[in-house]
């Protein structure tokens, strides 16, 4: 699955456009995402003690204040639903599965897990509040209570249940086995998102869609770059790059599809492709650097 993950994403997008049946099964979205978040929380060490790190302040200021404000004003001439989709991407917390990438590239796991836990739980407040703040003057109805209820159901309850099941050891083998298949849930979420948006996507001109892709990719690239720049050393740089760039896009898709026009989910769908491609490049570069260091270490040992 991991080897062909990007191909599966492209396939789910293609099938969603060709066979758009997402509206019929859209009601399953919160259950799919809640299950995915439960399994991801269960599979990581969530007993994080050090919440007071300067990097968390960086993430808070950039992800929840600077980036959404800049994106909101720069996209003022676009379709309101696409504009909403871009802001949703900006304020979306770090992907829970991003710790896997951080581990592969030998990053700071403690910082990664702290970011994941704190900002995904904080999104219960930040998501509805920021959407309301940015779009209260526009012709967009922001269902504050609905979004709050969605986030409570798909973030807080799965988090509490993951602690209960992990501490008690109930169904340990079954849940541990299920954790290996969380990627399939995201593939299903992508299909539902694309197929639900298929009719709306066809209404946009090719130039508009190309522009949306470029803007989305630029946002993803900027997040990865900013995270790398803010790190104090290589280990922290790699960690922040992933933490800033990899987003909990399943959450974005759910909020956009259940509360707004399907068009609002288009940027999130494109972002899924963008952040996985950039993560793959980061893993490749990190692997090359590690291999080079190992070769140099071997040469140095031989010369001694």
| Cα separation, 270 vs 285, whole angstroms | 23
Residue 47, pLDDT > 60, answer: no
pLDDT at 63: 94
Enclosing domain of residue 66: 11-292
Residue 304 falls within a domain, yes or no?
no
Residue 107 falls within a domain, yes or no?
yes
Burial of 249 (0-12, 13-18, 19+ CB in 10 A): buried
Q: Give this prediction's pTM.
A: 0.77
Residues 87-141 have pLDDT tens digits of: 999 999 998 778 777 877 888 877 887 888 888 888 888 888 898 888 876 656 6
pLDDT at 49: 56
Residues 247-283 have pLDDT tens digits of: 988 888 888 888 888 888 889 888 888 887 888 788 7
Reported confidence tier of residue 182, pLDDT bands at 50, 70, 90: confident
Reported confidence tier of residue 161, pLDDT bands at 50, 70, 90: very high
Reported confidence tier of residue 6, pLDDT bands at 50, 70, 90: low
Identify the sign of the CA torsion 188, 191, 195, 200.
positive
Q: What is the CATH number of the domain that holds 189?
A: 1.20.1530.20
At 240 the three-state DSSP class reads: helix
pLDDT at 196: 73
Residue 300 falls within a domain, yes or no?
no
For 41, other C-beta atoms within 10 Å of its C-beta total 23
Q: Shortest CA distance to 279 belongs to which of 223, 233, 235?
A: 223
Residue 190 falls within a domain, yes or no?
yes
Residue 78, pLDDT > 80, answer: yes
Q: How many domains, the chain?
A: 1
* Mean pLDDT (the chain, rounded): 82
At 53 the three-state DSSP class reads: coil
57/44: higher pLDDT: 57
Residue 298 falls within a domain, yes or no?
no
The DSSP annotation for 149-185 comes to HHHIIIIIHHHHHHHHHHHH-TTHHHHHHHGGGHHHH
Residue 65, pLDDT > 80, answer: yes
Residue 4 falls within a domain, yes or no?
no
């Amino acid at each position: 699955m991991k080897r062909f993950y990007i191909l599966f994403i492209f396939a789910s997008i293609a099938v969603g456009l060709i066979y758009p049946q997402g509206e019929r099964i859209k009601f399953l979205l919160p259950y799919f995402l809640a299950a995915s978040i439960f399994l991801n929380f269960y599979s990581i060490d969530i007993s994080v003690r050090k919440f007071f790190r300067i990097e968390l302040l960086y993430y808070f200021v950039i992800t929840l204040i600077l980036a959404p404000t800049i994106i909101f004003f720069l996209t003022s001439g676009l379709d309101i639903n696409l504009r909403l989709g871009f802001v949703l991407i900006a304020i979306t917390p770090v992907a829970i599965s991003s710790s896997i990438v951080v581990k592969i590239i030998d990053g700071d796991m403690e910082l990664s897990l702290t970011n994941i836990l704190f900002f995904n739980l904080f999104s219960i407040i930040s998501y509805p509040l920021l959407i309301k703040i940015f779009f209260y003057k526009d012709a967009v109805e922001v269902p504050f209570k609905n979004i709050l209820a969605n986030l409570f159901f798909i973030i807080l309850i799965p988090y509490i249940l993951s602690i209960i099941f992990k501490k008690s050891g109930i169904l340990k083998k079954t849940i541990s086995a299920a954790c290996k298949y969380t990627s399939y849930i995201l593939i299903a979420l992508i299909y539902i998102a694309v197929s639900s948006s298929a009719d709306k996507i066809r209404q946009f001109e090719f130039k508009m869609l190309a522009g949306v892709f470029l803007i989305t990719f630029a946002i993803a690239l900027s997040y990865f770059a900013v995270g790398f720049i803010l790190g104090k050393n290589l280990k922290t740089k790699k960690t922040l790059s992933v933490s800033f760039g990899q987003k909990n896009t399943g959450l974005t898709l759910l909020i956009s599809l259940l509360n707004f026009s399907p068009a609002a989910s288009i940027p999130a769908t494109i972002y899924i492709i963008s952040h996985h491609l950039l993560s793959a490049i980061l893993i490749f570069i990190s692997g090359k650097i590690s291999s080079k260091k190992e070769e140099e270490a071997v040469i140095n040992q031989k010369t001694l």
